[in-house]
A = this chain, B = another copy of it.
Amino acid sequence: MINNIEPIGAIHSPFQQKLGIPRQPGLAQSVESQIIFHPSLAKEETLRGLETFTHLWVLYLCHKSESWRETIRPPRLGGKKKLGVFATRSPHRPNPIGLSVVKIKSINPDHSITIYGADILDGSPLLDIKPYLSMWDSIPEANNGWVDNTPQLEALEVIIHPDALQDFNNLDLYTQSIIKETLRWDPRPAYSKDDGRSFTHRINHFDITWSKLDESIQILGIRPGQKK
């Protein structure tokens, strides 16, 4: 049975690198990703009735996760406190299966699915989708464990350096918007929180260079990159 666990497709997202991926689904609501099934599964039959749902679970492989440890230093805890891997949703786990709830935008004529708000690396192998049912899956009385005692995430202002303004304005509005939505959550890794350092990460086929400055993220440059 185990040997039957195989990708049944892939997720295509704007996130070309781990850096810059929202740390939970739904933080960057307008980000669109595509669920692409293998041709043998991409058909009317397998998806019949899915159009009646608003939300989906996506199960996928965190395929760039190459190792795991018993304990994790969650970014939310400033990278200092260690928690057990099973007390976190880190992608670095014994079985690196990712689980994200996303909003359905459309089920497309080619039997792909466009979703909003995924926090999934481009090219992640798809394992399964399941309908989200609020009657079973929504448990408002469940708590948030240690996450509740961490500082509230606050969206930063995203500003554009004058040198980058022309290039930013040349982008289409969707790309402008997803760049801002992903940067405002301060994607710096926990181990590199010194202000002023610049980072570059790729969103779709653009390399975005930015740094944190006071309570904002400043976009320093935008350069076309080759989509991998």
Chain A residues within CB distance 8 Å of chain B = 1-2, 4-8, 24-26, 41, 43-50, 52-55, 57, 59, 61, 63, 65-66, 70-71, 82-89, 93-97, 99, 101, 125, 127-147
Please tell me if the beta carbons of A87 and B145 are within 8 angstroms of each other in the complex. no
Query: Would A99 and B59 count as touching, CB distance under 8 A?
Result: yes
Residues of B within 8 A of A96 (CB): 1, 4
* Given known A-B contacts A87-B49, A95-B127, A128-B93, A138 and B135 have beta carbons under 8 A apart: no
Of B45, B49, B57, B83, the contact of A145 (CB 8 Å cutoff):
B49
Known pairs A82-B48, A84-B47; A99 contacts B57 (CB<8 A): yes
Which chain B residues border A129 with CB–CB below 8 Å?
Answer: 86
Partner of A87 from B5, B47, B66, B83 at Cβ < 8 Å: B47
> Contact: B95 with A53, CB < 8 Å?
no
A87-B50, A125-B2 are contacts. A141–B134 as well, Cβ < 8 Å?
A: yes
User: CA separation between A14 and B23, bound complex, in Å?
Assistant: 37
Residues on B with beta carbons closer than 8 Å to the beta carbon of A1: 61, 63, 65-66, 96, 125
Contact assessment for B134 and A140 in the assembled complex, using a CB-CB cutoff below 8 Å = yes
- Offer 7 A-B interface pairs, CB within 8 angstroms, sorted by A: A45-B70, A45-B84, A48-B71, A50-B145, A88-B131, A134-B142, A134-B144
Separation of A4 and B63 alpha carbons in the complex (Å): 10
Knowing A86-B129, A130-B89, the reply to whether A2 touches B61 (Cβ < 8 A) is: yes
Interchain residue pairs A-B with the least CB separation, the first 3: A49-B87, A53-B145, A52-B145
Chain B: CB-nearest residue to A125:
B2
